[in-house]
Structure 1
Amino acid sequence: MKTDVTQVMVAEHELILRMIALVETNTRRLEEGRFSNWQFYLDAVDFIRNYADRFHHAKEEATLFTALVANGMPEQNSPVAAMLMEHEQGRAFVRGMEEAAQKTLAGASDQVAVLAENAYGYAELLRNHIEKENSILYPLSERVLPEEVRPAMLEAYRQAEAAVAEDFSDHYRRMVEGYEAEAAA
């Protein structure tokens, strides 16, 4: 039986999807005039940049995608290239959300549409991206990666996790839970 090298990624996707749902819910409420916590968007940007991007995407890019290419997947015109392109598109949406939230906190009153466009764009992109990874790329990875590369991959994941603060994942989980409780109230 092969060692599973994508299970940790699927588990991380669950928390990312919960934040995406909050971004969508709060943006709908913002557009309806029922939400005005612009700090939420800066916290969402923090979550996305640090948990989803620097932590999760970094593991994918430095370990999983590298292993796939090293084991025969083309670097260009491939699922890996498509996922990397989507990571970059997501980063652009996040910059747009952050700029709109910062402008509003600085006194601008015309940023709802800009924020909504970037928030919805990010949510749609990432939800589809995660679906492709969970249903296509990760199962493909489990089929094609040889057993001999898997222990090194799991060690690379452990090193990435050890490189962040001890309560890193708990911090972001608590952030999501706090905003979920707020949204449910």
Structure 2
Amino acid sequence: MKLINALQDEHVLIDQVLGSFRTYVGGLIDGTAEPEDGRRFAAFFTEFAGHFHHDREERVFFDALVKDAELPGDRGPVYAVLHEHAEMAGWLGEMVPLLEQGPLSEDDAVRLRGLATRYSHALWRHIDAENSVLYPEGVERLLRSGIRELPDRPMSEAEAAAREDGAALLVRYPPVEDAALTRGDGCFMCRAYGDTCDGLEAEWWTELEWEEFFIR
């Protein structure tokens, strides 16, 4: 599906800009990064990752999973991902004033570093879960329901500008990987597993799928 391909491509950029953002936060606290770039990072995650990327996931893809594939929206993968979207938006909302205010106090610097680490860890693992489970499994179930394509929309001017800024920031602040974070594919690596979701099989599998599984 073209929409899913586009969302996966966007994940690549968001993943990279997260690493760049971590470089920036370290530099901002050390006094080696441009304070004005904080607004550009805030705009990227708000406008591009949030208003463009997450909006299309929620309003188009997730909506189709619930309405067309008749999958539950009040529990399981869809509910878990929506919960994470809201949770991460809350953390971003806490960071934006710190990124836009200019010089940081010692307390604000500690708070920003903690929020940036929490946000990046969550979003990296979120991307992995969507790429490895929700996207492929969701597409398979939409195809079974006769849905072969989903609608998409172009970026607004603000979203496009935020995307361009994100790409430029990658050059200025080379992305880093966080060695403290273990990343991987599958339900067991998802933050939501065992909390807001019991895994794909428990939440989505039909009786026929379970029967086929035990016959193998």
1:86 to 1:34, Cα distance in 2 relative to 1, 3 A: same
Q: Percent identity?
A: 24
Query: In structure 1, how many angstroms separate the alpha carbons of the residues matched to 2:35 and 2:83?
Result: 28
**1:109 alignment partner, one of 102, 105, 109:** 105
Q: TM-score, normalised by structure 2?
A: 0.71
Deviations 1:63-103 (A, max 9, x none): 00011111121111210001001101111111111122234
CA contact (8 A) 1:10 1:134 kept: yes
Query: 1:158-177 to 2 correspondence within 5 Å?
Result: 160-161=153-154, 164-165=156-157, 168-169=159-160, 171-177=161-167
**1:52 alignment partner, one of 49, 60, 81:** 49
Query: In structure 2, how many angstroms separate the alpha carbons of the residues matched to 1:39 and 1:95?
Result: 17
CA contact (8 A) 1:16 1:52 kept: yes
Query: In structure 2, how many angstroms separate the alpha carbons of the residues matched to 1:73 and 1:181?
Result: 41
1:108 to 1:13, Cα distance in 2 relative to 1, 3 A: closer
Q: Which amino acid aligns with 1:109?
A: S
**2:90 alignment partner, one of 86, 89, 92:** 92
CA contact (8 A) 2:42 2:96 kept: yes
DSSP 3-state at the match of 1:6 = helix
Following superposition, the deviation at residue 24 of structure 1 comes to 1.2
**Partner residue, 2:11:** 13
**Partner residue, 1:132:** 129
DSSP 3-state at the match of 1:35 = coil
**Partner residue, 2:181:** none
Q: Structure 1, unaligned stretches of length 5 or more?
A: none
Cα RMSD between the aligned structures? 2.1
Following superposition, the deviation at residue 140 of structure 1 comes to 0.3
**Partner residue, 2:192:** none
1:142 to 1:108, Cα distance in 2 relative to 1, 3 A: closer
Does residue 145 of structure 1 match 2:142?
yes
Query: 1:64-75 to 2 correspondence within 5 Å?
Result: 64-70=61-67, 71-75=69-73
CA contact (8 A) 1:100 1:115 kept: yes
Aligned length: 171
**Partner residue, 1:183:** 173
CA contact (8 A) 2:13 2:167 kept: no
Larger Rg: 2
Does residue 39 of structure 1 match 2:36?
yes
